[in-house]
Amino acid sequence: MSSSHYYQYNMRSTIHCAAGSVIRIPALFEGMGAKRVVLFSDIGLEQAGIVDQIKAVFASCSSNKAVLVGVYTGISQDAACQSVNAATAYARSVAADAILAVGGGSVLDASKGVKYSLQHGATDIADLLQSGIKIDAWPSCQHSGIPHIGVPTTAGTGAEVSPVAVFYNEALGIKTNLVAPFLEPDMAVLDGNLCLGLPDFLTAATGMDALTHALEAVASPTANAMTDAHAFHAAQMIVENLPKVIDNGKDVVARSNMLQASSLAIDAFGGSLNAIPIHNCAHAFGGMFHIPHGDANAALLPVVMEACPEFYAGKGQRLAKALNLSQNGSDQELLGNCIKFLKDFQQRIGCTTNFKRWEVNQDKQDAIYHAIASDPAAMFYSIPPTAMAKIVQAVC
């Protein structure tokens, strides 16, 4: 951790955390002055009954001044730009003045895209992004005035408290990034009950996504006291609780702990955002082969650490501390212990360890190298070609 560089730390979203806390959503919207709420989710959650559960919460509050005026469940995986555009058009069609997002990272990010489009009078989110990454800054960027609540149904992306959104640009075939003050929801409702039916494979993938956020924050060149507080605790909570929810998906306490760890991890990740080689590779593979982001990070976490020892040099003790491992030994030994632990942890929770099911093979290595090198994250740290070759070989 550097103690000499300038940094700015923000965590703007107010968090409401408890099993059953979704019951408070209508009152929270009313407190923010909302009158016409649109609910964004996806087909899977609609089929699982989660959408009906949220609708019932509003129906039971007949005196509430904030009413649910529409439900849109057409959000696609990776929050594709066309999907965001359709959701924006729907919000306008029902004259919504507030946004409720219930779902995983794609739904939560799509809701940010809708808010940003409404604020800027856009019909195509791609027109506002234009390139691989768009970064707005305060004070030129101001709050939209649109009340916004995020309700995660997975413990992984932390998108419910993050001022970052990732959208898949179908025309360019790449994932594009938007970073802006006030992009994150005003409030996040962490209700462990909503995660009880999550399948093991999704639990594992999203949990590894959160762990990647925490560890990339620990390894960041611009880590600071504030991000360390969240990154270390998040990683330790995940290591302790992710196996518990794999063993017993109905453990609501462990589910709640994972939701909190996910929010902590993304806050640390965003607050120390700099070199992120694991996410760099995950974006590249995900964009090329449509690999879900959680699965991409799950497989790549120990692989990238092993392929890029020069980047992680001097960080072995910090990483060992984050993973609750012994901190005795040389830096090289500690890094090796962390990598071994993560590979064993992959097996323990049954997450993705390679990309064969997505038909990723070494015949496409040149295109993969180009995707890694051209991802916006590469501007912070350029992964050496020799490391790229090791990474491709390990996951193919």
CATH code at position 171? 3.40.50.1970
Final residue in a domain of this structure, among 190, 212, 230: 190
Give 38's strand partners: 70, 99
- Which pLDDT value is given to residue 137? 87
What is the bridge-based pairing of β-strands 148-152 and 174-179? unpaired
Work out how many domains the chain is built from and give that number. 2
Residue with tokens 């058009």: 89
- Which pLDDT value is given to residue 198? 94
Residue with tokens 């964004």: 40
366 and 223 in a common domain: yes
- Which pLDDT value is given to residue 342? 98
Q: Which domain covers residue 166, as residue numbers?
A: 21-190
In a domain, 154, yes or no: yes
In a domain, 14, yes or no: no
Cβ neighbours of 295 (radius 10 Å): 26
What tens digit of pLDDT does each residue of 166-177 get? 998 888 887 888
179 and 219 in a common domain: no
267 and 145 in a common domain: no
382 and 267 in a common domain: yes
275 and 186 in a common domain: no
In a domain, 369, yes or no: yes
Question: 178: number of CA atoms within 13 Å, CB side?
Answer: 29
In a domain, 13, yes or no: no
276 and 170 in a common domain: no
- Which pLDDT value is given to residue 33? 96
166 and 255 in a common domain: no
In a domain, 329, yes or no: yes
- Which pLDDT value is given to residue 3? 58
In a domain, 341, yes or no: yes
- Reported as type and span, the H/E element at residue 152 is strand 148-152
Cβ neighbours of 26 (radius 10 Å): 25
- Which pLDDT value is given to residue 388? 98
Rounded distance between C-alpha atoms, residue 118 and residue 131, angstroms: 20
306 and 166 in a common domain: no
CATH code at position 208? 1.20.1090.10
77 and 42 in a common domain: yes
In a domain, 11, yes or no: no
167 and 267 in a common domain: no
Both tokens assigned to 15: 């968090």
- Which pLDDT value is given to residue 1? 64
Final residue in a domain of this structure, among 190, 224, 239: 190
In a domain, 79, yes or no: yes
Final residue in a domain of this structure, among 163, 190, 217: 190
154 and 205 in a common domain: no
> pLDDT under 70 in the chain at which residues?
1-4, 63
Rounded distance between C-alpha atoms, residue 191 and residue 183, angstroms: 22
137 and 50 in a common domain: yes
Inter-residue contact 342 to 302 (CB < 8 Å): yes
